[in-house]
Amino acid sequence: MSANAGSLCLSRLDYVIVLAAGEGTRMKSTTPKVLHSIAGASLLNHVLNAVEALAPAEVRVVVGAGRVEVETHLAKISPAAIPVFQERRGGTGHAVQLALAGAQAKGTVLIVAGDTPLLSSETLTQLIKAHNDGGYAATVLTAELPDPTGYGRIIRAENGDLIRIVEERDASDVEREIEEINSGVYVFDLAKLAKAITQLSDANAQGELYLTQAIEILRGAGERVVPILTPDFIEILGINDRIQLAECAAIMRDQINDTFMRSGVSMIDPTTTWIDTSVKIAGDAIIYPGTAIAGKSIVGPGAVVGPRTTLIDCEVGAGASVIESYCMGAVIGQGAKVGPFTFLRPDTVLGADTRAGAFVEMKNVTVGEGSKVPHLSYVGDATIGAGTNVGAATIFVNYDGVNKHHTTIGDHARIGSDTMLVAPISIGDGAYTAAGSVITEDVPAGAIGVGRAKQRNVLGWVLRKRSGTKSADAAQSSAEKGKPTS
């Protein structure tokens, strides 16, 4: 993954141009193509992560389709990058002309597309190094594809240099047989590129200015242009439709999971385990199938997550377990047990060795060490002390229809099953509530709050009011056997 590449910055890089103005028509989406996500980050974000690891002096992103959305996103993920607006699609050469306007006249420039999320900073570093070491005018990253359809083909000279790149639509039958293709990743000498792109023509099948034409212009001027074949064509895969989006997502999922497994994380079924690049997982954690861990989540050592669990921006402490649950913005303390079938919402903080059990929903709650909410409860807007037990089917009645109110429960309290805690309310240390209570007044420390009608039994009622039913028959025979009929 690209994050650790600060140390890879061996070669000077002055500019990066990211081409991202295309419509992405085949995505059939109202979202601009480069804003679609894999592994929790936009395609553009993945590309920028890879190039920013090279510490370029300046990054310019050519935007067009969905300009406002792309620029807004760019400002968020990469505030230093400069958007360049391409109003009409004039081709890759036109986009680079716009991006170079006002750029300083010399240096090295890297050009990439915004829709190739698998490009690694390692590969880019090697490309730039080869370019700078060789002193070439241009260096092009190429790949051999099993099916080169749609890509520009690489025409090499006998010494291996690049003569020109011919687009599929402009290629002869013989040229179309060539399997080596243009990845769309280039390093140029900036001054030479700036001069060459003033000479581009649109006399081609698409009537656009092709950046690739700069190659033959440079070579015609006696410059050297060299293709560098990448051993791993996976890296240059671009995304044009949702099928390719899913394919790249699966590749990145495998890369991420492999890295975690190598670092000591167990995954029972990596193919159904989806983890964002931003997630951290410690060694000896075990991830069960059907699990997604997203955003800023952190999973501690020896924790167990899944099966079928989603964690978004959650912290899971050492040795905790989260099973068959959906959790967002929650902190789960060490040794805590969550699930199965638990819904933790933002600002839930479960202390060490706590428990949030089956069919429990929590929101904006702090639960002290060792406290338990084992079954069928809603706990919202509350502070619960240590060692407290909240009985099955307790509801924290936090909403009066207009405002939300807080509930405070002390240490070692015992909330009886089916208690309604009508907030704002406070239950003291060591206090109890009787099962089935509707608690509307504070319960002091050590007291039991009883808030329910006193039971009365109406003897013989079933025989009088439900005669002829099986219940009445059962009551009758019970009476005949001498059992009490109440």
Using CB under 6 A, list all residues that contact ligand UD1: 19-22, 62, 86, 89-92, 94-95, 113-115, 151-152, 165, 167, 181-184, 210-212, 238
Stretch that binds Ca ion, among 121-129, 233-241, 296-304, 354-362 (CB under 5 A): 233-241
CB closer to ligand UD1 out of 166 and 287: 166
Residue 41 beta carbon to ligand UD1: minimum distance, rounded to whole angstroms? 17
Residue 166 beta carbon to ligand UD1: minimum distance, rounded to whole angstroms? 8
Is 375 one of the catalytic residues? yes
Q: Tell me the residue number closest to ligand UD1, measured at CB.
A: 152
Restricted to residues 236-265, the positions that interact with Ca ion (CB under 5 A) are: 238
CB closer to ligand UD1 out of 185 and 379: 185
Residue of 46, 375, 405, 412 marked active site: 375
Residue 64 beta carbon to ligand UD1: minimum distance, rounded to whole angstroms? 6
CB closer to ligand UD1 out of 45 and 334: 45
How many residues interact with Ca ion (rule CB under 5 A)?
A: 1
Contact partner at residue 95 from Ca ion, ligand UD1, none, CB < 5 to 8 Å by partner kind: ligand UD1
SS (H, E, C) the chain: CHHHHHHHCCCCCCEEEEEECCCCHHHCCCCCHHHCEECCEEHHHHHHHHHHCCCCCEEEEEEECEHHHHHHHHHHHCCCCEEEECCCCCCHHHHHHHHHCCCCCCCEEEEEECCCCCCCHHHHHHHHHHHHHHCCCEEEEEEECCCCCCCCEEEECCCCCEEEEECHHHCCHHHHCCCEEEEEEEEEEHHHHHHHHHHCCCCCCCCCCCCCHHHHHHHHCCCCEEEEECCCHHHHCCCCCHHHHHHHHHHHHHHHHHHHHHCCCEECCHHHEEECCCCEECCCCEECCCEEEECCCEECCCCEECCCCEEECCEECCCCEECCCEEECEEECCCCEECCCEEECCCEEECCCCEEEECEEEEEEEECCCCEEEECCEEEEEEECCCCEECCCCEEECECCCCECCEEECCCCEECCCCEEECCEEECCCCEECCCCEECCCECCCCEECCCCCCCCCCCHHHHHCCCCHHHHHHHHHHHCCCCCC
Contact partner at residue 165 from Ca ion, ligand UD1, none, CB < 5 to 8 Å by partner kind: ligand UD1
Residue 43 beta carbon to ligand UD1: minimum distance, rounded to whole angstroms? 9
Residue 360 beta carbon to Ca ion: minimum distance, rounded to whole angstroms? 49
Stretch that binds Ca ion, among 230-238, 291-299, 334-342, 459-467 (CB under 5 A): 230-238
Contact partner at residue 212 from ligand UD1, Ca ion, none, CB < 5 to 8 Å by partner kind: ligand UD1
CB closer to Ca ion out of 21 and 350: 21
Catalytic positions, please? 375
Residues that bind Ca ion in the complex, under the rule CB under 5 A: 238
